[in-house]
Amino acid sequence: MSSALKPLPVDAIPAVDASAAAIAQDETFAGPAPDGVAAPAASLLRFITCGSVDDGKSTLIGRLLHDTNSVFDDQMEALERDSRKFGTTGEDLDFALLVDGLSAEREQGITIDVAYRYFSTARRAFIIADTPGHEQYTRNMATGASQADLAIILVDARKGILPQTRRHSFITSMVGIRSVIVAINKMDLVGFDRAVFERIEADYRAILPQLGFTDIAFVPISAKGGDNIAARSASTPWYEGQTLLERLESVRPETLEPEGAPFRLPVQWVNRPNLDFRGFCGTAASGRIARGDAVVSLPSGRTSRVKAVFGPDGEVEAGFAGEALTLTLDDEIDASRGDVIVARGDTLRATRTLSVDLLWMSERPLIAGRRLIARIASAQTPALVRTLDEAVDIHSYRPRQTSALAMNEIGKVTLALERPTVAAPYADTRELGALILIDPMTNETAALGVVRAIAAEPGIQDAGVPAAAASASRFERARAQWLGTAAGRPRLAAPLVRFRAAAAILLGLLALLFGLGLPGAVLLALIDFTLRPFLWRLFTPEPKPGETNRPDEVGDGAGI
């Protein structure tokens, strides 16, 4: 650690398990802790820094690492050396170089890629995502925001609210972050003027009603000088709020993840090492699961009970949200990659139609009718942009009519999915409410989206009611097949029967024409009318459990 830093006071350090095993466990997820301090894992906070270019995001993170005693001596030596070579702060240390690791970032003085850093204090562990401010790299900012619980939105005190500040604020709101700290940086360059701080605060509060943030704080800071970062600044006697670090240590971020949510497991892989084991693997999106719980596989609607729950180290009593799990079931139901195993009674359902808020990230503009690949959790399906409903004016946040979305524009579209896919509004669950759209020609990620609403469609089963297909008898399934309702489109049943009757009559007439005789022609027509719906079964094998018949989906391990 840097020798220039003062040690933490002894009374500020709570009694914690400081054994070697406990410290090693903390360092696994949160990086090195300060000497003698092991931050409790339960208080982990993920946050991002965002805002316009040159607002000081990387410098702020470097300052936080330095002031929390999280920079090793060799890193300080490298920082001093790099500051002389690349620094933009004169004779002072350029803390941005602690974060900007790419040579292109150091040469240009901007952040290009998302950089993650880890540090701990006596009260909390942190994972920071330093995201780019340049408009060209908005996609990287959105990627970092999607995993964060809180956002620090930086504003340059000299420039005030900029369009990119508005765009990042809107994206932050779109991905469900509710807790925000607006850090008004570079106060030293405006003489720590209180009027400047209050003017920017008023400007930002004016746009808050469109953003939906519920927990917001404003902090005047100077990342370069360390004012109001870890210690209160003598230059801002008029500011009576918390320092930035105090706020980070004490805030309880409001997120969209509800407590007591039902169990949901997007299936990523079906593990079948031998004939006696068939496990459904994935990361639990929400809820809790234990042996004996009733579950439903969507979209098929097949029901079963959990025989066993396995974690990374073997069988466990129960699994929880965020854990990598493998479930074995009492029944050999059909579930494969892209399906979702949920608790019985869940209202989750599959759909073919989604209303989606999109951040368009491709240089080729988006227009209605564009065909893309949609990926939701572990499911992937071809999709059509049915309608481009509206775009969002980034200056006023008001909707406006448009015929195309340009790169980095935000809009609302209606997506038509080729296959029924399990999805949910983003307000209910992040895992099943977030999606990406992929250009099938270039394999480029063209858009990030969040689901705002799903359309209820007849014939597509939810988990609250036993699936008709799963519970029906053979006679009922045969009847549905003969009537043409097995595909879930009852309004097509009558036209299909009339079409089959006409085809059978035509076949009988042809038989008469070729001299079969009236009784034979009538018999042939009756046989054709009765058995035609089942003829395809003779040539189409029944799919086996766990076997996918989706030609555009590549299973795990295929091609290896």
Q: Return binding residues.
A: 51-58, 130-134, 185-188
Give the angle 396-392-353 at the CA atoms, nearest 5°.
150
Matching residue, tokens 């195993």: 341
Matching residue, tokens 């350029």: 94
How does strand 379-392 pair with strand 410-423? antiparallel
The end-to-end CA distance of the chain, in Å, is 46
- Nearest partner of 453 among 427, 475, 421, judged by Cα: 427
Please count the residues of the chain: 560
Distance CA(412)–CA(522), nearest Å, equals 57
Verify cis geometry, omega within 30 degrees of 0, for the bond prior to 466: no
Distance CA(440)–CA(438), nearest Å, equals 6
**Non-local CB neighbours of 172 within 8 Å, separated by 6+ positions:** 48, 50, 145, 151, 153, 180, 211
CA distances in angstroms from 310 to 271, 280, 303, 307, listed in the order given: 12, 10, 20, 10
The distance from CA 373 to its chain's CA centroid, rounded to whole angstroms, is 16
Known binding positions for GTP: 51-58, 130-134, 185-188
In this structure, how many other beta carbons lie within 10 angstroms of the beta carbon of residue 128?
Answer: 25
CA distances in angstroms from 9 to 64, 250, 321, 343, listed in the order given: 18, 19, 37, 49
3-class secondary structure per residue, 291-309 = CCCEEEEECCCEEEEEEEE
Q: Dihedral of the CA atoms 483, 489, 494, 496 (nearest 10)?
A: -70
- Nearest partner of 367 among 329, 325, 409, 307, judged by Cα: 409
Contact 415, 374 (CB under 8 A): yes
- Nearest partner of 79 among 97, 65, 64, judged by Cα: 97
Contact 41, 95 (CB under 8 A): no
Contact 189, 158 (CB under 8 A): yes
Which residue type, as a one-letter code, is found at position 408?
Answer: N
The count of C-alpha atoms lying within 13 angstroms of the C-alpha of 338, restricted to the half-sphere facing its C-beta, is 21
Matching residue, tokens 């790299």: 137
Q: Which three-class secondary structure state does DSSP give residue 383?
A: strand
**Non-local CB neighbours of 538 within 8 Å, separated by 6+ positions:** none
Give the angle 57-190-222 at the CA atoms, nearest 5°.
35
In this structure, how many other beta carbons lie within 10 angstroms of the beta carbon of residue 179?
Answer: 21
